[in-house]
Homo-oligomer: A and B are copies of this chain.
Amino acid sequence: MAVGDVSFPKMWTVAGIKIGSSEAYVRYPNRRDLVIFELAEGSNIAGVFTQNAFAAAPVVLSKQHLAKSLSADQPRYLIINTGNANAATGTIGLENAEKTCAHLAKLTGVQSHQILPFSTGVIGEQLPIERLLSGIQPALDNLNADSWQEAATGIMTTDTAPKGASEQFELDGITYCMTGISKGAGMIRPNMATMLSFVATDAPIAKNLVEQLLKTTVEQSFNRITIDGDTSTNDSCIFIATGQAGGQAIQQSDDPRYQVVLDVLSRIMLRLAQLIVRDGEGATKFITVTVEGGVSTQECCDVAYSIAESPLIKTALFASDPNWGRIVMAIGKAGIAQLDTSKVQVWLGDVRICRDGGAALDYTEEAGAKVMAEKEITIRIDLGRGTAQDTVYTCDFSYDYVKINADYRS
């Protein structure tokens, strides 16, 4: 069960984006597992991908095709399957990803490099390529602008709920919208991207700014969540600006409209990233870890991840046990050079539990227990040595995490 409100919102349709889906039986029968996005001609698109060395075949191919679009035709279609990651599949895996693009290109009359493929699911098995190819025409047959929820559902793996975020905004009197979906519940410690996320707007934005907007917002959203510390082979995050709602294109980042778009995208990305944490495998709590007073954001992140990925802290959070000694252990093991532990302070919610290297004098176990009983908990650290700060989002570690990951595949 996901933590907090993860209800699927009203999704504003994005002019220039159509979505189709089908049941291709990639892994399980009778479920929507193939999704196609059609992008209007002239759309600008940017992507960030996993840093895992065993990047999946579709990641390799999508990066190649995106690179080509700098000098040739822009991408016109995204094709996404769940149930099989097409990762660690060698040359056959790459051929299968190429076949997928070629088939979709043939049916739609575009070039193969105008297709970006994405896969998610089990690693190390070959795609059932014939079934996948057979699912493409049915998906094209139901392309329409209103299918964002079907798309969000069609890319799920161990997710318990589809994940979406959508906003309307105004630039110079024109109303635009921005809408996106994400998926992911395990193998989540994105490194430059997340499992899968697709966000689109009908605002007109120059290609270089689309890239800049994506990189800026990913850094504070998908690159700040962790469920199990495991970086997926398939992480991909795509941002599309179709420009189909009209208006003059935003060409420079000092255009005042750029800041408006940045704010909207930041909110949507953060929401989509947090939805992944709220639906983390077996999650019963949503945890915000904020580290302040660092010399650099890097050391703030190092401490935050050390806390957010400690199995001992995550199980204590599951048990609602204010066992804060485990938090100082995790601060101490983060490898911060010359940390003066006597200056470190720790808060659980509003309750200061640690100062001067030991328990705060006014701390009571009752006060700590009260915060730990909440479903949403903020752990705040002040390192007492600088002005940098950063925040990471995570969830707890429950019996169900073990159950889900011991049972998955079976």
Contacts and interface: CB of A to CB of B under 8 A. Distances in A.
Contact of A123 (B88, B124, B328): B328
Interface string A307-337: 0011110011011010111101111111010
Nearest to A337: B53
B311 A228 contact: yes
A351 to B, nearest CB: 14
A233 B324 CA distance: 13
Nearest to A55: B332
A358 interface: yes
Contact of A325 (B88, B186, B334): B88
A330 to B, nearest CB: 7
A356 interface: yes
A230 B319 contact: no
A347 interface: no
A54 interface: yes
Contacts of A359: 88-90, 124-126
Contacts of A89: 357-359
B407 A319 contact: yes
Contacts of A329: 52, 54, 87, 123, 187, 230-233
B406 A328 contact: no
A187 B336 CA distance: 19
Interface of A: 51-55, 85, 87-93, 122-126, 186-187, 189, 191, 228-233, 309-312, 315-316, 318-319, 321, 323-326, 328-334, 336, 339, 341-342, 354, 356-359, 397-399, 401-403, 405-410
Contacts of A401: 311, 315, 402
B323 A409 contact: yes
Interface of A, secondary structure class, is loop
Nearest to A309: B229
Contacts of A125: 325, 359
Contacts of A405: 311-312, 315-316, 319
A316 B404 CA distance: 10
Given A230-B330, A325-B88, A339-B53, A354 B402 contact: no
A325 B51 CA distance: 16
A332 B52 contact: yes
Contacts of A124: 323-325, 328, 354, 358-359
A224 B232 CA distance: 25
A159 to B, nearest CB: 16
Contacts of A321: 406, 408-410
A233 B402 contact: no
A323 B186 CA distance: 14
